[in-house]
């Protein structure tokens, strides 16, 4: 096969992998928007905070140590232990659930029946608060996240595909971390689907998503559902934080991954879990192929972010609710 064709396939495969990572971030937005109509601006910061907490717990870092040292003149930083990744993840999940409870207790409960824009503004405030809180709690330095996930291109795939092309083709490059991310995303989506279809809480969540008033009238607790959905979104944020943090280290720019989720949401729809996945894949493949075929050769490169939003805007023109989103019809 011609090398150029094989390179295009390689770009497409890597685009799919990148799309999975985008979808992981978008999923958190969808879960909250679907159940409460809130666009959670803080979702990127949740991923950051979850990853910071995971590394902090794993490495035995003393929370607020900088603050404690500044006030009391001490020099404490670490407890001196190292916790196994699985236990650290479980503890981080508990922290994210606690965070969901606090968000419901101190923010959402007081904003019931407020316009959507007020709730959106509240999440902006939450984002800034969480970023500062995370900084105070765990410090600003870049942290290495190592929970044993594989990194680097797969030798096996490279060696077993090199024969497809000529001497300039070295086999397909696929990052093993991306493969893990794809598997984790598939498990996550399957688990979320099973949860929403076959559990009492999942059905309650769907009922609230369909009609708040009707759900309340049959005895479903709105507060419980909000805690539940924010906790799930927190866990999804943890997964996204682990995958992205493994690539770049855990640092405050991790919150910017939310920028990658926006075109995915516009394309896939704000209310659809499959939409987030399909949207992520389309954006991932689309931006990478555009960069490969047009961006880099003719436009000087770095067109991916631009193309992702242009693609999303095009979809908005023809399908404002996104590919899988619910069509909103308001009767007057």
Partner 1 sequence: MKLKIATLAVGAVMAAAPVMADLVFPSLSYRTGPFAAGGIPFADGYSDYFTLLNERDGGIGGEAIRVPECETAYNTEKGVECYEALKGEGALVFQPLSTGITYQLIPKSAADDIPVHSMGYGRTSAKNGKVFSHVFNYPVNYWDGASVGVNHFKEQAGGSLEGKKITLLHFNGAYGKEPIPTLTKLAEVEGFDFNAIPIDYPGQEQKSQWLQIRRERPDYVLFWGWGVMNQVAVQEAANIRFNMENFMGIWWSGSENDVIPAGAGANGYKALQFHNVGSDFPVFADIQKYVVDAGKAAGAGDQVGTVLYNRGVYAAFLAAEAAATAQAATGNSSITAGDMRDAMEALEINEAKMAAAGLPGFGPTFTVTCENHGGGGMAAVSQWDAASQSWSLISDFSASDSSIVDPLIMADSAAYATENNLPERCN
Q: At what angle do helices 258-268 and 3-36 cross, to 10 degrees?
A: 80
**φ, ψ of residue 175 in degrees (nearest 5):** -70, 130
In whole angstroms, what is the distance from residue 318 CA to residue 298 CA? Answer: 28
| Binding region for partner 1 (CB under 8 A) out of 9-17, 28-36, 83-91, 195-203 | 9-17
Min dist CB 65 to partner 1, Å, is 8
The answer to whether residue 18 forms part of the interface with partner 1 (CB under 8 A) is yes
Closest CB to partner 1 among residues 77, 203: 77
Q: How many CB atoms lie within 10 A of CB 176?
A: 16
Smaller CB separation from partner 1, 7 or 120: 7
In the bound state with partner 1, the residue whose beta carbon lies nearer, of 146 and 326, is 146
- 37 counts as binding partner 1 under rule CB under 8 A: no
CA dist 230 and 217 (Å) reads 22
Per DSSP, helices labelled H in 249-271 are 258-268
Q: Which of 305, 313, 314, 320 touches partner 1 (CB under 8 A)?
A: 305
Q: Does 179 sit near partner 1 (CB under 8 A)?
A: no
Candidates 153, 180, 216, 321; binder of partner 1 (CB under 8 A) is 153
* Cα 328 to Cα 201: distance, rounded to the nearest angstrom: 25
Q: Look-up: residue for tokens 């992998």?
A: 17
How many angstroms separate the CA atoms of 208 and 105, rounded?
A: 18
Of 257 and 278, which has the nearer Cβ to partner 1? 257
31, burial (CB in 10 Å: exposed 0-12, middle 13-18, buried 19+): buried
Residue number, 168 or 217, with CB nearest to partner 1 = 168
- Which residue of 216, 249, 274, 323 would you call a contact of partner 1, by CB under 8 A? 249
Per CB under 8 A, the list member of 83, 93, 164, 175 interacting with partner 1 is 175
Other C-beta atoms within 10 Å of 37: how many? 14
Among 114, 197, 221, 248, binds partner 1 (CB under 8 A): 248
Half-sphere exposure of 174 (CA within 13 A, CB side): 23
End-to-end CA distance of the chain: 60
Nearer to partner 1, 280 or 325 (CB): 280
- In the complex, the smallest distance separating the C-beta of residue 324 from partner 1, rounded to whole angstroms, is 24
The C-alpha angle 124, 322, 316, rounded to 5 degrees, equals: 85
Judged by beta carbon, residue 137 or residue 220, the one nearer partner 1 is: 137
295 and 304 Cβ atoms separated by less than 8 Å: yes
Total residues at interface with partner 1 (CB under 8 A): 55
Q: Could you list the residues that contact partner 1 (CB under 8 A)?
A: 7, 10-11, 14-15, 17-18, 21, 66, 69, 73, 75, 77, 131-132, 135, 139-142, 144-146, 151-153, 168, 170, 173, 175, 244, 247-249, 251-257, 259-260, 287-288, 291-292, 295-296, 300-302, 304-306
């Amino acid at each position: 096969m011609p090398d150029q064709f094989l390179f295009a396939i390689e770009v497409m495969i890597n685009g799919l992998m990148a799309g999975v990572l985008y979808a992981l971030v978008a999923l958190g937005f969808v879960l909250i928007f679907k159940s409460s109509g809130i666009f959670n601006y803080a979702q990127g910061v949740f991923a950051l905070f979850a990853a910071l907490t995971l590394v902090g717990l794993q490495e035995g870092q003393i929370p607020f140590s900088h603050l404690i040292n500044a006030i009391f003149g001490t020099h404490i930083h670490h407890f001196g232990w190292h916790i196994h990744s699985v236990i650290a993840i479980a503890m981080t999940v508990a922290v994210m659930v606690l965070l969901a409870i606090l968000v419901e207790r101190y923010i959402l409960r007081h904003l019931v029946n407020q316009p959507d824009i007020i709730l959106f503004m509240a999440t902006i405030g939450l984002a800034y608060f969480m970023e500062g809180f995370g900084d105070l709690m765990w410090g600003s330095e870049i942290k290495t996240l190592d929970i044993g996930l594989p990194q680097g291109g797969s030798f096996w795939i490279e060696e077993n595909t090199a024969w497809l092309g000529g001497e300039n083709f070295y086999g397909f490059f696929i990052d093993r971390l991306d493969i893990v991310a794809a598997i984790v995303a598939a498990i996550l989506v399957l688990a979320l689907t099973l949860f929403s279809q076959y559990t009492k809480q999942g059905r309650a969540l769907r009922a609230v998503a369909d009609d708040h008033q009707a759900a309340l009238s049959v005895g479903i607790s709105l507060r419980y559902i909000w805690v539940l959905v924010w906790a799930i979104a927190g866990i999804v944020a943890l997964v996204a934080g682990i995958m992205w943090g493994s690539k770049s280290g855990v640092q405050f720019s991790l919150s910017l991954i939310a920028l990658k989720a926006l075109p995915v949401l516009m394309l896939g729809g704000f209310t659809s879990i499959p939409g987030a996945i399909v949207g992520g894949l389309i954006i991932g493949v689309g931006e990478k192929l555009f960069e490969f075929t047009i961006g880099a050769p003719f436009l000087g490169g770095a067109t991916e972010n631009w193309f992702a939003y242009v693609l999303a805007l095009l979809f908005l023109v023809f399908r404002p609710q996104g590919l899988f989103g619910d069509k909103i019809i308001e009767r007057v």
